[in-house]
Structure 1
Amino acid sequence: MTAPHRPEIRSVGPDQVMAHLPLRAAVDALRQALVQGLDPSAQAARTSSPLAHGEFLLMPSEFEGYAGVKILTVAPGNPARGLPKIQGNYMLFDAQSLQPLALIDGVALTSIRTPAVSALAIDALAAPEARDLLVFGTGPQALHHVRAAAAVRHLERVGVVGRSEEKARRLVERLREEGFPAEAAGAERVAEADVVACCTSARTPLFDGAAVRDDAVVVAMGSHEPDARETDDALAARATVYVEDRATALREAGDVAMAVEHGALGAEDLVDVATMLGEERRPGPALVKTVGMGWQDLVTARALYENLPG
Structure 2
Amino acid sequence: MSGLPYLDADAVARLVPAARAVQLLEDALRAGLDPEETPRRPVVELPAGQLLLMPAAFGRYAGVKAATVAPGNAARGLPRIQGTYLLYDGETLTPLAAMDGIALTSLRTPAVSALAVRHLAAPGAGDLVVFGTGPQAWGHVLAFGEVRPLRRVTVVGRDPARAEAFAARCAALGLETAALTARPQEPGSPARVTDEVAEAVREADLIACCTTAREPLFPGGLVRDGATVVAIGSHEPDARELDGDLVARSTVVVEARTAALAEAGDVVIPISHGTITTHHLAGDLADLVAGRVAAGAGPRVFKGTGMAWEDLVVAAAAYEAWHGET
1:229-256 deviations in whole A, cap 9, x for unaligned? 1001111111011111112111111100
1:202-238 deviations in whole A, cap 9, x for unaligned? 1111112112111111000001111111001111111
Give me the whole-angstrom Cα distance separating, in 2, the residues matched to 1:77 and 1:197. 24
1:45 corresponds to which of 24, 40, 45: 40
Q: TM-score, normalised by structure 1?
A: 0.94
1:259 corresponds to which of 270, 277, 300: 270
1:176 corresponds to which of 168, 171, 192: 171
2:197 corresponds to which of 169, 187, 200: 187
Deviation at 1:187, TM superposition (A): 2.6
- Of residues 251-260 and 185-194 in structure 1, the stretch that sits farther from structure 2 once superposed is 185-194
Indicate conservation of the 8 Å contact 1:70/1:106, yes or no. Answer: yes
The corresponding residue for 2:311 is: 297
The corresponding residue for 1:108 is: 103
1:274 corresponds to which of 286, 302, 310: 286
The corresponding residue for 2:190 is: none
Deviation at 1:74, TM superposition (A): 2.5
Distance verdict in 2 for CA 1:130–1:76, change over 3 Å: closer
1:119-175 deviations in whole A, cap 9, x for unaligned? 000111111111111111111111110001001111111111112211111100121
Indicate conservation of the 8 Å contact 1:239/1:287, yes or no. Answer: yes
Give me the whole-angstrom Cα distance separating, in 2, the residues matched to 1:228 and 1:49. 17
5+ residue gaps, structure 2, are: 181-195
Give me the whole-angstrom Cα distance separating, in 2, the residues matched to 1:109 and 1:61. 15
CA RMSD of aligned residues (A): 1.6
Instruction: Read off the aligned partner of 2:162 and give its amino acid letter.
Output: K
Give me the whole-angstrom Cα distance separating, in 2, the residues matched to 1:65 and 1:138. 37
Instruction: Read off the aligned partner of 1:86 and give its amino acid letter.
Output: I
Distance verdict in 2 for CA 1:27–1:43, change over 3 Å: same
- SS of structure 2 residue aligned to 1:38: coil
The corresponding residue for 1:14 is: 9
> Aligned pairs, how many?
305
Indicate conservation of the 8 Å contact 1:7/1:101, yes or no. Answer: no
Instruction: Read off the aligned partner of 2:315 and give its amino acid letter.
Output: A
Q: TM-score, normalised by structure 2?
A: 0.90
- SS of structure 2 residue aligned to 1:197: strand
Give me the whole-angstrom Cα distance separating, in 2, the residues matched to 1:282 and 1:87. 36
The corresponding residue for 1:3 is: none
The corresponding residue for 2:183 is: none
